[in-house]
Amino acid sequence: MSTSAGTGTVTLARRAGFARDLSSVALRALRLTARDKESVIPGLFIPLFFLVVNIGSLQSFVEGNLPPGFDFKGFQLPVSVIFAVTGVSRAGSLVIDIQDGYLDRLLLTPVNRVTLLLGLMVADLVVVTVLGVPVVILGLLIGVSFETGLVGMIVFILIGTAWGVAFTGFPYAIALTTGNPIAVNNAFLLFFPFAFLTTAYVPQGQLTGWLAAVADWNPVTYLLAGMRALVLEGWDWTAIGRAFLAAVLVGVVSFYLAFASLRGRVRKG
Amino acid sequence: MSAAISARGLVRRFGETLAVAGVDLSVATGEIFGFLGPNGAGKSTAVRMLTTLLSPTEGSAEVAGFDVERETEQVRLRIGVALQESALDPKQTGREILDLQGRLYGLDAPVRAARIAELLELVDIGDAIDRMVATYSGGMKRRLDLAAALVHRPEIVFLDEPTTGLDPVSRSMVWDEVRKLNRESSTTIFLTTQYLEEADSLCDRVAIIAKGRIVAQGSPTELKRSIGADVIIARVAPDDVTRATAALRAVPELGHVEATGDSIVVGVSNGGTAISPVAVALSGANVHVIELTMRTPTLDDVFLETTGARMRDEEEGALR
């Protein structure tokens, strides 16, 4: 409790602390996500659809042009997980908070400003982890098997989670900079070069020309390589390490943009 | 009595636009202070600066004894704010909103539960507290917004146009809640309003703001008395307004004379004795008088006297 000289009321307010601020913001975000299933679940059908369709249409062609034993189903599973977790964030609801003035209400409290964004990202972490699971289950149902077993499956989902969370910084940066829901919805377009200028459909060795050069610089290439290693090859620590590193590097860039945008919005009022 | 809120030369620019043009004010502890002005006058911008949401371009302000720019956290711990639009999340229940507010102000679970129970009595939301805010009426949202501003028992409460858009019954309920809050806990209240009767009825002191500047300040009674004890309003033919104004200004025993539209407002110390010279002067100037009425002054008359326009006219000008 604190009071100021000369004022009549004794306020009950005090700083809640970083951890409590973080959990308060994250719990609200998770509660709203649970109530807002329509914004999450439809996005899951797209990767499941692509997994089935890509395998159905391309498996014979790709496997026919590669050495015997190439498993196109296992090769495609990481692509579907990446599609499932990319762009999943609470940025849309953050824009609504900005427009409704609710973000101002939060900014009027002594809440640690960083937790206003970090709390949303904690909630995103839970959501993207959960979203990766049905894709992996579908993969198992259609015959994909993991060379690294159950532990490899968990690491596989964790790489997807790391990437999903790393990517959230971009929509948050757009949300905080523009306060515009359409701009946030279009943030998914940012993923297109990441998703398609890479080894999504054929192995790296089969890419030629400029696409091969771009794919070498695309972090998703290394992400997919690490995840594919867990499914098709075994514990290739170099590939797995590079996958996590790729997610971390993208996360550094996107989080920098997001927190810079948060600072800008807080300062701008 | 010490100042709960003080501001010196507070200025805020948005690019070329000067929203607040040098506000000086002092609000005493335990006072209900009204910031009265039309839309676009700079009221909300001033509130956003005093509540740490916006940095002043120039000047300084202290709230609860702390600088609003350098000691933002200390200020935030001591203030409660209900902004102009009810800042509520429609996908949470009223109780969830109040509970989250309590958590962010560091209140432990039993304290939060006790405060929510107290606030439910104050703002009378009833069972709706466990419904989604999306289902609330405008009045209920306003009252929940007020409750959210009070969860941590702030020393100073800022209410930015707390009754705008409410029906008369809801408005009256909010007024009662504000009075009760001030009476029972001596909470200092800073409220902005565009409603003259709200400022008149609720506030101990009022500052009238127009185009970012405070043009008059004092208790509603003092401000109205500055115009005169009574006001005589002469509605005349539109072509006669200039001539009528000049004729009335020439009468020595009359006070302030201001023209607004097709009416001339005359502040007088005694309406009963002044109405005759007014009628004689208008007749002598060959003015076609449509209506001649007398009443006690309002804050709108003070606004007219200090700015040369009615609040409604000023508002329309701001919107153009």
Instruction: Answer whether residue B211 is part of any domain.
Output: yes
Q: What angle do CA B273, B277, B283 make, to 5 degrees?
A: 145
Asked if A101 reaches chain B (Cβ–Cβ under 8 Å), the answer is yes
Q: Is B164 helix (H, G, I), strand (E, B) or coil?
A: coil
**CA pseudo-torsion sign B58, B59, B63, B67:** positive
Instruction: Kindly report which listed range (A50-59, A237-246, A257-266, B47-56) carries the lowest average pLDDT score.
Output: A50-59
CA dihedral A123, A156, A84, A247 (to 10 degrees): 70
Cβ-based burial of B291 (10 A; exposed 0-12, middle 13-18, buried ≥19): exposed
Instruction: Give me the CATH number covering residue B209.
Output: 3.40.50.300
Q: Are B318 and B283 in contact (CB under 8 A)?
A: no
Of B90, B100, B185, the CB nearest to A24: B100
Asked if A105 reaches chain B (Cβ–Cβ under 8 Å), the answer is yes
Which residues sit opposite B159 in a β-bridge?
B82, B191
* DSSP per-residue string spanning A104-160: HHHHTS---HHHHHHHHHHHHHHHHHHHHHHHHHHHHHTT---TTHHHHHHHHHHHH
Instruction: Answer whether residue A77 is part of any domain.
Output: yes
Token duo for residue B214:
């405070």
* DSSP per-residue string spanning B103-119: HHTT--HHHHHHHHHHH
Asked if B115 reaches chain A (Cβ–Cβ under 8 Å), the answer is yes
Residues B166 and B264 in one domain: no
Q: Kindly list the residues from chain A whose CB atom is less than 8 angstroms away from the CB atom of residue B90.
A: 100
Asked if B220 reaches chain A (Cβ–Cβ under 8 Å), the answer is no
Which residues 6+ apart lie within 8 Å of A245 measured at CB? A222
Residues B41 and B140 in one domain: yes
CB contact under 8 A, A24 and B85: no
Of B29, B55, B101, the CB nearest to A109: B101
CB contact under 8 A, B87 and A101: yes
Task: Give A27-86 pLDDT, tens digit per residue.
Answer: 999 999 998 887 777 778 888 888 888 888 888 887 777 777 788 889 989 999 998 898
Residues B69 and B142 in one domain: yes
Q: Kindly list the residues from chain B whose CB atom is less than 8 angstroms away from the CB atom of residue A100.
A: 85, 87-90
- DSSP β-ladder status, B32-36 and B79-82: unpaired
Instruction: Answer whether residue B197 is part of any domain.
Output: yes
CB contact under 8 A, A9 and B88: no
Instruction: Answer whether residue B288 is part of any domain.
Output: yes
Instruction: Answer whether residue B250 is part of any domain.
Output: yes
- DSSP β-ladder status, B263-268 and B257-260: antiparallel
Asked if A29 reaches chain B (Cβ–Cβ under 8 Å), the answer is no
CB contact under 8 A, A6 and B30: no
Q: Is A47 helix (H, G, I), strand (E, B) or coil?
A: helix
Q: What are phi and psi of B52, to 5 degrees?
A: 75, 5
Sheet-wide strand order for B58-63 = B17-28, B3-14, B58-63, B66-67
Asked if B20 reaches chain A (Cβ–Cβ under 8 Å), the answer is no
Asked if A8 reaches chain B (Cβ–Cβ under 8 Å), the answer is yes
- Residues B277-295, mean pLDDT to the nearest whole number: 90
Which has more pLDDT, B242 or B306? Answer: B242
- Residues 93-112 on B with a CB inside 8 Å of A are 96, 100-101, 103-107, 111
Give the residue on B whose Cα is nearest the Cα of A105. B87
CB contact under 8 A, A24 and B3: no
- HSE (CB half, 13 Å, CA atoms) of A127? 32
- Residues B235-249, mean pLDDT to the nearest whole number: 91
Q: At residue A155, does pLDDT exceed 70?
A: yes
Residues B141 and B214 in one domain: yes
Spatial separation of the C-alpha atoms in residues B256 and B216, rounded to whole Å: 15
Instruction: Answer whether residue A6 is part of any domain.
Output: no
Give the residue on B whose Cα is nearest the Cα of A8. B186
Domain end, chosen from B196, B220, B244, is at B220
Spatial separation of the C-alpha atoms in residues A101 and B75, rounded to whole Å: 20
Residues B166 and B122 in one domain: yes
- Per-residue CA distances from B23 to A48, A181, B106, B279 (Å): 61, 36, 33, 41
* Look-up of token digits 């300040």: B217
Total structural domains within chain A: 1
Asked if A9 reaches chain B (Cβ–Cβ under 8 Å), the answer is yes
Instruction: Answer whether residue A8 is part of any domain.
Output: no
Instruction: Answer whether residue A74 is part of any domain.
Output: yes
Of A5, A12, A269, the CB nearest to B65: A5
Q: At residue B315, does pLDDT exceed 60?
A: no
Residues B115 and B234 in one domain: no
Range of the domain at B282: 229-296
In this prediction, residue A268 has a pLDDT band, given cuts at 50, 70 and 90, of low
Of A32, A107, A109, the CB nearest to B91: A32
Instruction: Answer whether residue A9 is part of any domain.
Output: no
pTM over 0.90: no
In angstroms, the separation between the Cα of residue A23 and the nearest Cα of chain B is 10
Task: Give A184-201 pLDDT, tens digit per residue.
Answer: 888 878 888 887 888 888
Instruction: Answer whether residue A254 is part of any domain.
Output: yes
Asked if A38 reaches chain B (Cβ–Cβ under 8 Å), the answer is no
Instruction: Give me the CATH number covering residue B261.
Output: 3.30.70.100
Q: Nearest Cα to A124, choosing from A192, A219, A25? A: A25
Spatial separation of the C-alpha atoms in residues B223 and B206, rounded to whole Å: 8
Residues B265 and B182 in one domain: no
Q: Kindly list the residues from chain A whose CB atom is less than 8 angstroms away from the CB atom of residue B105.
A: 12-14, 16, 109-110
Range of the domain at A237: 18-268
Query: Quick one: pLDDT at residue A9?
Result: 65
In angstroms, the separation between the Cα of residue B152 and the nearest Cα of chain A is 5
DSSP code at position B180: H
Of B105, B152, B155, the CB nearest to A7: B155
Spatial separation of the C-alpha atoms in residues A254 and A172, rounded to whole Å: 9
Q: Are A128 and A85 in contact (CB under 8 A)?
A: yes
Query: Quick one: pLDDT at residue A126?
Result: 93
Instruction: Answer whether residue A12 is part of any domain.
Output: no
Which residues 6+ apart lie within 8 Å of B13 measured at CB? B19, B57
**B contact test, residue of A11, A27, A106 with most B CBs within 10 A:** A11
Q: At residue B80, does pLDDT exceed 60?
A: yes
The total of other beta-carbon atoms located within 10 Å of residue B49's CB is 28
Of B53, B101, B187, the CB nearest to A9: B187
Residues B182 and B292 in one domain: no
Q: Kindly list the residues from chain B whose CB atom is less than 8 angstroms away from the CB atom of residue A21.
A: 104
Average pLDDT score, chain B: 88
Which has more pLDDT, B318 or B72? Answer: B72
Instruction: Answer whether residue B317 is part of any domain.
Output: no
In this prediction, residue B10 has a pLDDT band, given cuts at 50, 70 and 90, of very high
Asked if B15 reaches chain A (Cβ–Cβ under 8 Å), the answer is no
Residues B214 and B244 in one domain: no
Q: Are B5 and B61 in contact (CB under 8 A)?
A: yes
Residues B234 and B204 in one domain: no
Total structural domains within chain B: 2
Instruction: Answer whether residue B117 is part of any domain.
Output: yes
Stretch (H or E) spanning B268: strand B263-268
